[in-house]
Amino acid sequence: MQKHLLTVASAAVISLGLAASAVYMLVTKEVVAAKPEQSSAVFGPDGKLQLPDPHVFRRWVFVGAPLTPNALNNGHANFPEYHHVYIEEKNVDAYLKTGSFPEGTVIVKELTRVLNPTFPDGSRTEPSGRGYFNGEYNGIDLTVKDSKRFAKTNGWGFFTFGHHPLPYAESAAEAPATECAFCHQAYVAKTDMTWVQFYPLLRDKDPK
Ligand code: HEC
């Protein structure tokens, strides 16, 4: 009799447990479904994009560093001078799998000057050789993928927080298409508006 009671009791405990986990699963499923797309892009009420936290984005995946020294561009490169490009790891992974970036992807291009040039071409000599070395931070250009908000420019918004030393602008309005997007549209519309040909990790699909 006692044994029977025990069995009934443990059956009750088990079914309670099952019911509880079913409720838990339902609740968590709903929470996940209700979560909005995770993006590092934060827009203010005025529609301006907030400056992303440099302590955060400088720790994203560093995909490449094109270099256009002023000294090789009549003293005035369009984007002086190193271009450090950062993308969040989850978006790099998605690109490697699918060949395009997820909605909400932010790509930061942070500029740095070249370090104190001593030759007319902007280079200097260090123990490793003659060449270019990173100088001070010098500005941020940024793209955000949001196919609805930026439908007119192939689904990407373009923002500049200035081409100058720190501090950067705290927020930025979308740059006119004639200032930024037109050039990306003309050359890299087929690779999701991004110059992946300059970023070995994305271009070569992360070879060993
Ligand atoms: C005349 C052409 C041109 C214009 C105008 C232009 N870009 Fe680009 N952009 C490039 C090229 C080329 C690269 C990659 C090579 C490099 O950085 O030098 C690039 C790279 C970028 C990147 C890194 C991600 C990527 O797409 O590869 C961002 C972010 C970016 N540009 C934003 C901007 C913003 C913001 C503006 C306007 C202020 C702008 N660009 C205007 C040509 C242009």
* 49-203 homologous superfamily: Cytochrome P460 (3.50.70.20)
**Could you give the CA distance from residue 133 to residue 116 in angstroms, rounded to a whole number?**
9
| 64 has pLDDT over 90 | yes
Query: Average pLDDT of the chain?
Result: 89
| 7 has pLDDT over 80 | no
Judge contact between 41 and 49, C-beta under 8 A.
yes
Nearest to 153 by CA among 181, 192, 189, 186: 181
pLDDT digits (tens, 9 = 90+) for 88-140: 999 999 999 999 999 999 999 999 999 999 999 999 999 999 999 999 999 99
pLDDT at res. 2: 53
Domain boundaries, the chain: 1-35, 49-203
Residue 138 Cβ contacting ligand 1 at under 6 Å: no
Residue 142 Cβ contacting ligand 1 at under 6 Å: yes
| 17 has pLDDT over 70 | no
Say how many Å lie between the CA of residue 184 and the centre of ligand 1.
7
Residue 156 Cβ contacting ligand 1 at under 6 Å: no
Please list, in sequence order, all residues whose beta carbon lies within 8 angstroms of the beta carbon of residue 118, skipping any fewer than 6 positions away. Answer: 124, 125
Tell me the DSSP string of 119-143. STTS-EEETTEEE--EEEEEEEEEE
Predicted confidence band of residue 10 (pLDDT cuts 50, 70, 90) = low
Please list, in sequence order, all residues whose beta carbon lies within 8 angstroms of the beta carbon of residue 208, skipping any fewer than 6 positions away. Answer: none
Residue 180 Cβ contacting ligand 1 at under 6 Å: yes
Say how many Å lie between the CA of residue 193 and the centre of ligand 1.
9
Q: Are strands 49-50 and 106-114 parallel, antiparallel or unpaired?
A: unpaired
Residue 141 Cβ contacting ligand 1 at under 6 Å: yes
